[in-house]
């Protein structure tokens, strides 16, 4: 509920500026990572081929496998004949060649290695087909309703499509919950195989855009030039998705346009109460009061002109009756800018307060009588 109210406030504040920028790409989107707010959209649900931007999902599932303990960065992966048969971008794995998950992730993130992407997919799911099933299941979980994956690489396949909006969703999931991926996506130049294989990032933003953090390029003859470009400045990270641009250079220019617009226009404000919140009385509880708190993640995305003029007001209930569950609504923290309400953030119980039992109540009465005597 808190997030819904906060986002509604953000939408009200952002609505006047959402069309203040233009790009050449036929489909594009700009999203802020923390709140998921869309700052710019152009044909964002058009189903198009994503080329190697597909690998954002492959990378996401790999990072989730690492987090779950299924894999580690040091896990050794053996390349299959199928993985080595991939065309397009690759590091020319040989059948039965062994490489760590870390090095394969580096190859996928930096040079978009199709052979490594498939090798990781097979390591995780047993086969690329089984991995693709997981990709599509994860896409559904993330609300990627425009997406159908046919492979783990983004190589041309009939019906392999997604949208700028869906790419932003999976990109956000990756960078929000797996920030360690930056150790690979921010590499400009590196090497593998003890220096024998040189790597240069396909994402030119990493070298030429201040604050760039990733994420993934893609291009084929039919998909043309695609990009999910991420960058962070002043604690705010943005995701710029470009699809079907005419040239490689244009996709980077379009991404720079969107990212620069976002950073110049908006500010991410992390809200905390300016004064200590007073406890709320609890009737018939095991303790007399409960402490209201503002839940974590109370970030507001605002136009910079409004961000420097914020005021707060607190409204709390006088009392609640036990039992009180953690997260029970106790009041509202209202954020205003001038005469405008920016957001109304719920203040909730920071702890659980059970209802007092008859025996506990009797003991409390006896203790009070004894102390009074």
Phi-psi sector, 311: left (phi>0), alpha (psi -120 to 50), beta: beta
Looking up tokens 């590091």 gives 91
Verify whether residue 89 is a known catalytic residue: no
- 69, 185, 281 from 179: Cα distances, Å: 17, 10, 41
Those residues with Cβ within 8 angstroms of residue 339's Cβ, 6 or more apart along the chain or in another chain: none
Choice among 2, 33, 42, 52 that is catalytic = 52
Spatial separation of the C-alpha atoms in residues 157 and 295, rounded to whole Å: 44
- Evaluate the omega torsion of the peptide bond into residue 323 and state whether it is cis, within 30 degrees of 0: yes
3 state DSSP class of 6: helix
Do 120 and 104 form a contact (C-beta atoms < 8 A)? yes
* Consecutive H or E run containing 143: none
Q: What are phi and psi of 324, to 5 degrees?
A: -115, 120
- 95, 223, 336 from 340: Cα distances, Å: 63, 44, 5
Verify whether residue 315 is a known catalytic residue: no
For the chain, the residue count is 373
Percent of residues in the chain assigned helix, strand, coil, to nearest 5: 35, 30, 35
Verify whether residue 47 is a known catalytic residue: no
The dihedral sign for the CA sequence 9, 12, 17, 23: positive
Choice among 112, 171, 298, 337 that is catalytic = 112
* Consecutive H or E run containing 37: none
3 state DSSP class of 199: strand
Which alpha helices (H) appear in the chain, and where do they start and end? 2-14, 55-68, 81-84, 101-111, 114-125, 128-141, 164-177, 182-185, 205-208, 248-265, 304-307, 358-372
Active-site residue numbers? 52, 55, 112
């Amino acid at each position: 509920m808190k997030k819904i109210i906060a986002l509604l406030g953000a939408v009200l504040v952002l609505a006047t500026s959402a069309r203040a920028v233009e790009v050449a790409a036929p489909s594009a989107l700009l999203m802020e990572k923390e709140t998921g707010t869309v700052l710019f959209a152009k044909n964002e649900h058009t189903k198009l081929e994503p080329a190697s931007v597909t690998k954002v999902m492959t990378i996401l599932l790999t990072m989730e496998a690492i987090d779950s303990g299924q894999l580690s960065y040091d896990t050794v992966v053996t390349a299959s004949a199928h993985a080595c048969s991939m065309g397009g971008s690759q590091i020319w794995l040989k059948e039965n060649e062994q490489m760590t998950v870390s090095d394969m992730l580096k190859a996928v993130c930096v040079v978009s290695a199709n052979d490594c992407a498939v090798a990781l997919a097979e390591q995780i799911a047993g086969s690329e087909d089984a991995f693709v099933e997981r990709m599509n299941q994860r896409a559904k979980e993330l609300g990627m309703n425009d997406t159908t994956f046919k492979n783990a690489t983004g190589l041309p396949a009939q019906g392999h499509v997604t949208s700028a909006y869906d790419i932003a969703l999976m990109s956000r999931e990756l960078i929000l919950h797996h920030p360690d991926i930056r150790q690979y996506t921010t590499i400009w130049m590196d090497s593998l195989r003890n220096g024998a294989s040189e790597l240069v990032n396909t994402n030119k933003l990493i070298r030429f855009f201040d604050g760039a953090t990733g994420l993934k390029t893609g291009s084929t003859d039919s998909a043309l030039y695609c990009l999910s470009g991420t960058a962070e400045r002043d604690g705010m990270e943005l995701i710029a998705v470009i699809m079907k641009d005419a040239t490689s250079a244009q996709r980077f220019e379009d991404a720079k346009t969107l990212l620069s617009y976002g950073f110049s226009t908006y500010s991410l404000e992390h809200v905390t109460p300016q004064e200590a919140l007073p406890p709320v009385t609890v009737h018939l509880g095991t303790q007399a009061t409960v402490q209201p708190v503002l839940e974590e993640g109370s970030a507001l995305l605002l136009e910079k002109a409004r961000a420097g003029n914020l005021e707060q007001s607190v409204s709390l209930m006088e009392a609640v009756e036990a039992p009180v569950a953690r997260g029970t609504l106790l009041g509202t923290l209202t954020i205003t800018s001038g005469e405008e309400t920016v957001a109304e953030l719920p203040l909730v119980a920071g702890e659980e307060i059970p209802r007092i039992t008859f025996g506990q109540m009797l003991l409390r009465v006896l203790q009070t009588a004894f102390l009074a005597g």
